[in-house]
Structure 1
Amino acid sequence: MLAELRLDRNNLTGTIPREVMSLSSLLYINISQNNLTGSLPVEVGTLRNVEELDFSENMLVGNVPSDLGSCVKLRLLYMEGNKLWGILPSSLSKLRGIEELDLSQNNFSGKIPAYLQDFVFLRKLNLSFNDFEGVVPKRGIFGNATAVFVLGNKKLCGGIADLQLKSCNPSKGLKKERFALTLKLIISVGSGLLGLALVLCFLYLCWSRKTTKVSSFRILENSFMNWSYRSLHKATDSFSPANLIGVGSFGSVYKGVIGQGKKVVAVKVLNLNFRGAAKSFIAECKALKSIKHRNLVKVLTACSSIDFHGNDFKALVYEFMVNGSLEEWLHQNGNEDNGHNESRNLSLLQRLNIAIDVASALDYLHHHCLKPIVHCDLKPSNVLLDDEMVGHVGDFGLARFLPEEHWQSSSIGIRGSVGYAAPEYGMGNEVSTFGDVYSYGILILEIFTGKRPTDNMFNDSVTLHNFAKVALLEQGASLADPTLFQQSENGESRSGINKTTNQNSIEGQRIEECLISILKVGITCSEELLRDRPAMNEVVVQLHVIKNAFLGGITAL
């Protein structure tokens, strides 16, 4: 008599039991977001009364069984995010009561079945990222571009104009084919001549380089060079401990000097004894070669070579950031006695600007790259500050391109650092841009409260997010980092306000409103449920509104 079976968002493995698919009493089945393998059992046809089937985001393979057409009461069918293949069976034409059908991110092929345009109750159809081919119908749901999705099927053509697919005109295609053959002949001849010209130019350039003195700095600025181990060994004074400026997950970072002292760089040397270090090097090279943004650390060159002992050597060379990492500014690590602690406190406006810099970098990675990139390891030590205190996001050793068609969750490993990684990653979910949003939310809370998410005061039941959420209601802006209100030498705080004397002033209210607004952004971004988090482009807009309101208030005063 079981009517509902909902086992979604777990770590279930193995195949779908045939006995479960034989329970004719079932009305709703949701086993999505697990690690189920194998094919869909033919016994699914026994579910004559089922109204909802959700097999999405597993690792199911094989064809869709024709017996599925026996589920004539089916309203909702979700099979996206698997590895199903083949042609959709004609028996699915019996599912005339279907309202939502999602087959995206599989390997289905063949033509889009014509019977889908006769489903009068169908209000959403997602066929994206498969291998469908041929003409897209125009009747029924296919006449509504907001209800049908066919992106990622390169062999499709036709359809309504709003789908923006290529034309299916066969005569036009024949003309294109003839033109292509002619063009190939022209290109072949032209390529030969061009190749000869390039060889001659290359020989001339080689001769020119021998006779023209060009500084290392200028060469480095204008090309992506592949430096040798010897060059980096010399630049870092044999990788001297005195030049060590940081240690990361997969290696160490050294300060180096090239071009006769004209250029200071940061050299990240991978420790290839660490598991995943080589893969991290490849991931970082792949990500950095395709991105360019003012708030991303600029890579100058890469080195894949052999050291003096015959061991593999891999390194990346970046622009040197004179003000170090955000981690060093937020947490002095016991350096309060060096006499410079006061000068290294960040003002409210500086922190807000850095928050906007990081948000802008993530917005670029998520929404403005050819393929969305997920950073996967956002934290203060991976945010570097230049001489003007502009924030730059670095360390792309765990970065991932979306969609991850060739990666399985078991091969990706941990996505991020403890305290900053999104909670869904701990449950085995695939990476997503909203995982970065969570890390960013934690980063915001750390920037403006001064508390690490790994502080001893936090545990499984009390996190930085929960602490900030409750404390904001009870304490308001008092939750903020006390150093924001410390006195500077001229009698004002680093944020531009004396908390004690001006607490009730209009200026004090502006500061408090700004802090509360920022902390709310951090809390919203770090919500536990993925669907409750905003996208990064929305966050950038919110932060600019907060900054403009803050600066506008100061100007008015």
Structure 2
Amino acid sequence: MWPVVGSVTTKDSANAIDALALLAFKHQLWSHSLTTWNDSLPFCQWEGITCSRRHSQRVVAMNLTGLQLVGPLSPFIANLTFLRVIDLSNNKLIGQIPPEIGRLFRLRYLDLTVNSLGGEIPTNLTRCWRLRTIGFACNKLTGRIPVELGSLSRLRRLLLPGNSLTGSIPTSLGNLSSLISFSIWGNELEGKLPEELGQIRNLEDFSIEKNKLSGTIPPTLYNLSSIYLFSTTQNQLSGSLPPDFGVTLPNLTTFSVARNRFTGRIPISLSNASRLQELELDGNQFIGSIPMNLGRLRGLRYLRLQGNLLGSGGEEDMGFLSSLTNCSLLNVLILATNRLTGALPNSIANLSTALEIINLGSNQIFGSIPSEIGNLQNLISLRMDSNFMTGMIPESIGKLNKLQVLNLSKNDFSGEIPAFIGNHTQLSDLFLDRNNLQGIIPSTLKKCQRLSRLYLANNDLTGDIPKQIFTITTLRILNLGANSLVGPLPTEVGNSKSLELLNVSDNKLSGEIPKSLDNCLSLEYLFIEGNFFQGAFPSLSALKGMLRMDISHNNFSGQIPDYLEKLRHLQYLNLSYNDFEGRVPQEGIFKKANAISVIGNKKLCGGSPVLLLPECPSEDDKKQSQHFLKKRMIAILIGSVLCSALLLFLLYYYCIRKSKKHPHPRSITHPLEEQLTKISYGDLCKATDGFSSANLIGVGSYGSVYKGYLDHIMKIVAVKVLNLQRQGASKSFIVECKALRNIRHRNLLKVLTVCSGIDFKGDDFKALVFDYMVNGNLEQWLHPSMDEQDQPKNLSLIQRLNIAVDVAFALNYLHTCCEKPIVHCDLKPSNILLDDDMHALVGDFGLARFLSEATSNGSQNDTNSLGIRGTIGYVAPEYGIGNEASTFGDMYSYGILLLEIFIRRKPTDEIFTGSLSLHQFAKMALPERVMEIVDQNLLSAEVEGLNESQTHTNAKRKLEKCLISTITVGVACSAISIKDRMDIEDAMVEMQRIRDLYLGVGINDTDN
């Protein structure tokens, strides 16, 4: 069906063809963009649409960049047969690039960069023979670069960076004689650089970094006027440059092979490349001296040699600088992070007056800075950090009026910070830390009104902190730590609205922290430890973005401010060695024992059990104690002694009589404890190294989980410690023990032992001990944290199917095979554990319910008194209106879990707003668009690993059928209405069938 446009309803009308195609494009999107695309305007006036002048009703350009379009790219776009320009960059398009685009033979410009498009690059793009630009950067494209692209003779720009393309660079691309820009960085391409690329004589931009390319540079590439082989550690281009390198490159203007694995010496013949303007050899393993004849490169503008092993270890290493005085156009000189030794020659003053950047950091340069350096009056950045330089900062630096960056840190400079620094009104970064500078901080710094970063730490500075510094409104980082500064922190600090980091630690500052600090709304890092600050710590509740705060080793008193637990972004808080008193908060950062320190505050109590603080006395205890002390202390004491004596006598007499009647009384234990060997608190404390934060592997609603090693069973275990101060934790322990007492199934997490006693402080302690799961939980595989991004985890289709079946087995056992049906009530990825063989085990029965037959008065098992709880996104909708726990609720959670496993989107994903939920998202895609919504990493992995004996078409059809069937089960299980939901037995059988069909085996009866 074609959409209706105004009064035109037939696709045969010539004037309606493009309008209908545009509406079809809009209707496949899920976002509410393109609001102007309606009957109120002619379609040629719709946002982003340009029509032809000769053919007024035909669209020639579609520019919809940056409109937050969400959804698949409609194949109806191919009906816009007059299109010359398609720019859909910077949106959220998903699915595959429609191969129908290949019908747009007039197309010249195609830009789909920065979307989430997956699949392969259509090979029939070659039909668009007029294409001059192809931009698919920053998507999720997989597969190989089509060989067919080599036939696009008019193509000038081929931009494919930031995808997941594999294979090698096709040799056919050497036929793209018009190509001027070729960028493939950030993919997974392998192999060597094709020699055929040297045939592209007009190539200007050639970027291949962040791949897995290897080998040497083909000699044919030396024919190019510019060579950009800039890389990172992912590539392994190697070898040494030939001795006659410069002779063979008479026309070379740019040579960049940065961040590869090139070795050997820089050829002396390089000076024969007389037209060379840019020489970038940084990030390799070049050795030896820098050639003394580089001065013959009269047109040299950029010289970047940092990050190598250059230098002979002799004092003559810096002699080459004298030859560079002939390079009158030199603009950038970067030699940092090498092994260059020696003193700076005075000839540095004769370098090009056009020089803007000098970076000599991280070498072994000694001596002083030549005073003649003041002649380089166009310098913008001067870096000489991390060397062995001495002497005073020369006054001639004050002549560098354009200076924006001055970095002399980590040397041995002495004397005072010169007052002329204030004359550098363009200065944005001043790094003078880790030297031997003395005296006061000059107040003339207030003239540097563009200053962003000021580092003066680790010197021997004295005096007050000048309040004038805080008039610099652009200041973002102020690091004055490890000096001998005295006096208070100026109240003017509140004027620094842009301040992100304030470090005044390890000085001799005193007084109270000014309340004006709360005005520094951008502050994220506050380090004031190691001073003599005192008084109550002020409320800084306006600093919502605070990440790290260290106020330790001061004299702060009073209670810990409550607002600290409301700073939801706070990652580290050190309050140790002050004089705080009272109760330690328990919310926010205070929940993370490994992120907070309160040691050395002897008047604190409460808080997380891991902090090992005494329990806070209750108000009743305080009142009763005061009453006894003030009024009848002596009388009550005497009476207590007499009563105690009498009670002891009666108790002794009772015990004697009792022992004769019942010589072996039976201890009262929990039913689960009767079945299992109990373990002591001491054993668990030893196994977890004192419940060390280093062994903390998870934190839940009612407790924390630690990794440990039990000696007597010689096994690594997971110890779930209940936080008994949390309301409902004790009942959760009872519920979990009761649930685990009688259940035994290979897909349910087995409890090894329990601990129910007291800890070393005499407080109640309860814990459950389980097998430790090496592969963690399903949440970590589907949605790795930032710390786990460096070790990506991908589940194959078979692994996901097995997990879905395993969880179905577990639920079927709980719902149908137990004496009393058990409802889990909190089924989600973090409660699905994965063993060594990636088998799934359902854990965490702290919210479980037992279903008993309804009595005449409708009473429920007492466990229901806990109330229905669960996790947002997985809780069945009927629980929100007060319905009691049921197996239908678990089925809803299972359906959501199933969709999340294969779509790899959380039910709380930001895309799901308004009426759009994960269930609705999947339901709308059935059946035609399922391949567009499932995890694209899963698709690329499965397509790449298809059995070679199968035809590509049949294999993809089989894959698509499997995924459609699976998503169908997920949608059926998560239906909003209870009566529409699939029950567990049907779901289990269906998931087994789907898995077996995909594996190509018969449906076998499996005893769960």
CA RMSD, Structure 1 to Structure 2 (Å): 2.9
Deviation at 1:442, TM superposition (A): 0.2
Maintained 8 Å contact 2:677/2:754: yes
**1:185: which partner in 2?**
none
Shift of 1:274: 1.4
Q: 1:504 Cα deviation (Å)? A: 5.5
Partner AA of 2:936 in structure 1:
P
Alignment partner of 1:462 is 2:916: yes
Q: Relative to 1, partners in 2 of residues 1:410 and 1:395: Cα closer, same or farther, differing over 3 Å?
A: closer
Contact 2:781 2:794 in 1 (8 A): yes
Aligned to 2:966: 518
What does residue range 83-232 of structure 1 map to in structure 2 within 5 Å?
224-232=676-684
Q: Which amino acid letter does the alignment assign opposite residue 809 of structure 2? A: S
Could you say which residue in structure 1 is the equivalent of 2:706?
254
Equivalent pair of 1:326/1:381 in contact (CA under 8 Å): yes
Tell me the CA shift for residue 248 of structure 1: 1.1
- Whole-angstrom distance in 1 between the partners of 2:902 and 2:947: 16
Cα distance, 1:418–1:483 mapped onto 2, change above 3 Å:
same
Instruction: Work out whether 1:280 is the aligned partner of 2:728.
Output: no
8 Å Cα contact 1:409-1:428 kept in structure 2: no
Give the match for residue 870 of structure 2: 416
In structure 2, relative to structure 1, the CA distance for the partners of 1:264 and 1:336 (3 Å cut) is closer
* Identity within the alignment, %: 55
Structure 1 outlier segments of 4+, above 6 Å? none
The residue identity in structure 1 corresponding to 2:802 is N
Structure 1 residues 79-111: Cα deviation after superposition (integer angstroms, max 9, x where no partner): xxxxxxxxxxxxxxxxxxxxxxxxxxxxxxxxx
SS in 1 for 2:767: strand
Is it true that 1:540 corresponds to 2:988 in the alignment?
yes
Residue in 2 aligned with 1:550? 998
The CA distance in 2 between the partners of 1:322 and 1:486, in whole Å, is 27
Aligned-partner Cα distance in 2 for 1:391–1:431: 24
Question: d(CA) in 2 for partners of 1:554 and 1:480?
Answer: 26
* Aligned match for 1:372, one of 798, 816, 821: 821
Gaps of 5+ in 1: 1-198, 203-221
1:458: how far off?
1.3
SS for the counterpart of 2:847 is coil
> What residue identity is the alignment partner of 1:492?
E
Structural mapping, 1:21-40, within 5 Å: none
What is the distance in 1 between the residues matched to 2:960 and 2:722? 44
Shift of residue 411 of structure 1? 3.3
What TM-score results when the alignment is normalised by the length of structure 2?
0.31
Cα distance, 1:457 vs structure 2: 1.3
AA of the residue aligned to 2:839? V
Cα distance per residue 1:266-309 (max 9 Å; x no partner): 00001112111111000000000110000000001111111111
Does the CA-based 8 Å contact 2:868-2:885 persist in structure 1?
no
Q: Contact 1:507–1:554 at 8 Å: present in 2 too? A: no
Using the alignment, how far apart are the partners of 1:552 and 1:326 within structure 2? 26
Q: C-alpha separation between the residues in 1 aligned to 2:927 and 2:939?
A: 20
- Structure with larger Rg: 2
- The SS at the match of 1:254 is strand
Matched positions, count: 330
CA distance in structure 2 between the aligned counterparts of 1:317 and 1:460, rounded to whole angstroms: 42
**2:758 alignment partner in structure 1:** 306
User: Which letter does structure 1 place at the counterpart of 2:807?
Assistant: V
Contact 1:449 1:481 in 2 (8 A): yes
Q: Distance in 1 between matches of 2:944 and 2:922?
A: 27
Q: Contact 2:728–2:866 (CA<8 Å) still a contact in 1?
A: no
Q: Give 5+ residue unaligned stretches, structure 2.
A: 1-662, 667-673, 1004-1008
Q: Secondary structure at the match of 2:768?
A: strand
Question: Per the alignment, do residues 554 and 371 of structure 1 end up closer, same or farther by CA in structure 2, a change over 3 Å counting?
Answer: closer
Partner of 2:786, secondary structure, is coil
Give the structure with the higher percent helix: 1
Q: What letter corresponds to residue 730 of structure 2 in structure 1? A: A
Q: Distance in 2 between matches of 1:316 and 1:446?
A: 29
Alpha carbons 1:415, 1:431 under 8 Å: kept: no
Q: Deviations over 1:140-188 (max 9, x none)?
A: xxxxxxxxxxxxxxxxxxxxxxxxxxxxxxxxxxxxxxxxxxxxxxxxx
Whether 1:316 aligns to 2:764 is no
For residue 549 of structure 1, report the CA deviation from its aligned partner: 1.0
Per-residue CA deviation, residues 405-464 of structure 1 (Å, 9 max, x unaligned), is 445898332331110010000010000011000000000000000000011111341111
* Counterpart position of 2:505: none
Distance 1:335 1:240 in 2: 19
Partner of 1:508: 956
Q: Can you list the C-alpha shifts for 1:54-79, whole angstroms capped at 9, x where unaligned?
A: xxxxxxxxxxxxxxxxxxxxxxxxxx
Could you tell me whether the CA contact under 8 Å between 1:503 and 1:509 is conserved in 2?
no
TM-score if structure 1 supplies the norm length?
A: 0.56
User: Is contact 1:497-1:508 (8 Å) kept?
Assistant: no
Q: Helix, strand or coil: the match of 1:505?
A: helix
Deviation at 1:473, TM superposition (A): 3.9
1:390 partnered with 2:839: yes
- 1:413-452 matches, cutoff 5 A: 413-452=867-906
Q: How far off its partner does 1:485 sit?
A: 2.4
Counterpart residue number, 1:475: 929
User: What is the deviation of 1:486?
Assistant: 3.3
* CA pair 530-337 structure 1, distance change in 2 beyond 3 A: closer
Counterparts of 1:236 and 1:519, CA distance in 2: 42
Q: Aligned partners of 1:535 and 1:483: how far apart in 2?
A: 30
Question: What's 2:232 paired with?
Answer: none
- 8 Å CA contact 2:717–2:772 kept in 1: the answer is yes
Determine the structure 2 residue equivalent to 1:333. Answer: 785
Aligned CA distance change for structure 1 residues 409 and 224 (closer, same or farther; 3 Å): closer
Q: Which amino acid aligns with 2:833?
A: L
Whole-angstrom distance in 2 between the partners of 1:329 and 1:401: 31
- The answer to whether the 8 Å contact 2:851/2:861 transfers is no
Shift of 1:475: 1.2
Q: What is residue 244 of structure 1 aligned with on the other side?
A: 696
In terms of mean alpha carbon deviation, does 473-482 or 356-365 score higher?
Answer: 473-482
Deviation for aligned residue 1:260: 5.8
* Kept in 2: contact 1:363–1:536 (CA 8 A): yes
1:528 corresponding residue in structure 2 = 976
CA apart distance, 1:336: 5.9
Q: Secondary structure of 1:443's partner?
A: helix
User: How far off is 1:262 after superposition?
Assistant: 2.1
Distance 1:348 1:429, change over 3 A: same
Q: Deviations over 1:301-359 (max 9, x none)?
A: 11111111121111100011111000001111234642x31xx2000000000000000
* C-alpha distance 360-308 of structure 1, shift in aligned 2 (>3 A): same
One-letter amino acid of the structure 1 residue matched with residue 880 of structure 2: G
Q: Residues 554, 486 of structure 1: CA spacing in aligned structure 2 closer, same or farther, 3 A cutoff?
A: farther
Q: Is the 8 A contact 1:226 1:301 kept in 2?
A: yes
The answer for the alignment partner of 1:485 in structure 2 is 939
Equivalent residue for 1:350? 799
Q: Which moved more, 1:476-485 or 1:462-471?
A: 476-485
